[in-house]
Amino acid sequence: MPRNSSVSYTLSTSDLSSVSRIFQVQPEFLAVQKSNGLEVKYKHQANYKYFVGPGNNDILVNKILKEKLGWVKVHSPYIANFVWTQLKQKKIIEQLKTYRGPKKVMTDDCELHPLDKTSCKTLKFYNKLENNGELASKKKLFLNMLEFYQSKNLVPFEFIPETYYVKEGVQDQALTQLQKSPQRVWIVKPGEATNRGNGITVCDSYDKVLETIQKGKHKTYVVQKYIENPLLYKGRKFDIRCFTLVTSVNGNLQAYFYEEGYIRTACSEFNLNNVTDKYVHLTNDAVQKKSPNYGKHELGNKLSFEEFQVFVQENHNQDFLGVIYPKIQNLVKDTIEATQRKLDPKMRLNGFEIFGYDFMLDTELKPWLIEVNTNPCLALSSPYLATLIPNMLHDAFRIALDPYFIPCSQYSFPLQNGFRLVFNRACEPN
């Protein structure tokens, strides 16, 4: 997919500050700042400090940050301007101050007024949001989307598969409702935050659902309709991995949807005769890479959107990029709207997070939201991902960090960015 989109802000250049004239701060930087009600004062040749914790391809994250002018690595998160960790750490979250400024108003030129003036040297950013579980926890995602769609008089199970939240074991009333459903095959997931296929079981009867929950070790469960008519890629299941960047800066929450992603394919042909075969039913890379057939059909069991577009066009006469992917973007926007007041309720200064969204298509090419992941896998497990993942991280940092930490007058902000603004809380009705 061509990388031809820009962050969607318009900036009036009639009143650029003296700071911008001295340091040649580009309008795109200022636009992002002012959309969050900030005006940052810069220091010439400033040195910013970053900390990167271990895990999930921290080598790549370190490499990208090391290449940024004006940044130096430190070995303590408590003295860093920017902290990156694989998992959310409560102590780091609590170190971030909370926004206590005045209520702001969004102007016609996308500036959030009044502007708060601050020094770049005092800013601190963390790559986690305090309540990221509102999206990444399977039970909270379901409950939030259920409430959101019902508040709009929409049927939730037109957007997410039919789902039941079980919090009281096999005696839970939700299972009584599930038993009445004509659905035959169910997928049982731990309600708490898990990813990479951990704890997920496919069940082909109500009794198997009860047995799984009774033998399970988790506090709660989400029992979800298994999509029995999935669109197949050459006879095998697949899902769609997308990326969304959510920023919470100076008390304002915004979300950006990435124009590129990838398809994750299963190793074995699809059938419902043996629901215990994870290489048939679970497309998570952590599961599939254990199969002896991993990489047999596609390198790293991955496809680019361009490859998938050709497949869909030739086999189903449909436009994935032009018709289906925008529907996926709308579903992502729904999740942000549903959780906008919950993700960062204390309005910490400041945070952002890259979420990995998983979708499936049925035989009618209807997209279904399956789950959202914090700490999405950054492994470069195929030649395509070796390009996609670094590009995605670069683009995320250009929005979440670069507008606030400009090292010198020679720095150039790329006009093109793969992330598209899809939500700005300041523009939403109160």
Number of alpha helices (DSSP H) and beta strands (DSSP E) in the chain: 13, 21
- The whole-angstrom separation of Cα 252 and Cα 350 is 10
Please state the φ and ψ torsions of residue 367, each to the nearest 5 degrees.
Answer: -80, 140
User: What pLDDT does 45 receive?
Assistant: 65
Query: How is residue 113 written in tokens?
Result: 């007024």
The C-alpha R_g of the chain, in whole angstroms, comes to: 22
Q: How far apart are CA 383 and CA 187, in angstroms?
A: 32
What DSSP line would sit under 49-70, residue for residue? EEEE-SSSSHHHHHHHHHTSTT
pLDDT for position 3: 45
Residue-level pLDDT at 12: 37
Compute the average pLDDT of residues 6-10: 44
**Euclidean distance between CA atoms 319 and 333, whole angstroms:** 21
User: Is 316 a residue whose pLDDT tops 90?
Assistant: yes
For residue 385, is pLDDT > 80? Answer: yes
* Beta-carbon-side half-sphere exposure of residue 74 (alpha carbons within 13 Å): 13
Burial (CB count <10 Å: 0-12, 13-18, 19+), residue 57: middle
Cis? peptide before 367, omega within 30° of 0: no
Per-residue pLDDT, averaged over 383-397, amounts to 97
Q: 190: which strand partners?
A: 221
Q: For residue 126, is pLDDT > 50?
A: yes
Mean pLDDT across 287-303: 96
Least confident among 187-191, 296-300, 359-363? 187-191
Tokens of 344: 């960062």
Model pLDDT for residues 393-414, shown as the tens digit of each residue: 999 999 999 999 976 545 555 6
Tens digit of each residue's pLDDT (9 = 90 or more) over 68-79: 888 999 999 999
Higher pLDDT, 202 or 198: 202
Summarize the confidence of residues 277-301 as an average pLDDT. Answer: 95
DSSP string, 90-121: HHHHHHSEE------EE-TTS-EESPEEEEGG
Confidence label for 208 from pLDDT (cuts 50, 70 and 90): very high
Record the pTM.
0.93
- Please report which residue ranges of 298-368 form alpha helices under DSSP H: 305-316, 325-339
Peptide bond preceding 350 in cis form (omega within 30 of 0): yes
Buried/exposed code over 75-112 (b: 16+ C-beta within 10 A; e: otherwise): eebeebbbbbbbebeeebbeebeebeeeebebeeebbb
DSSP secondary structure of 2-15:
------------TT
Do residues 73 and 52 lie in contact, with contact meaning Cβ atoms separated by under 8 Å? yes
DSSP-H helix ranges across 319-384: 325-339
Which helix (H) or strand (E) element contains residue 141?
helix 138-151
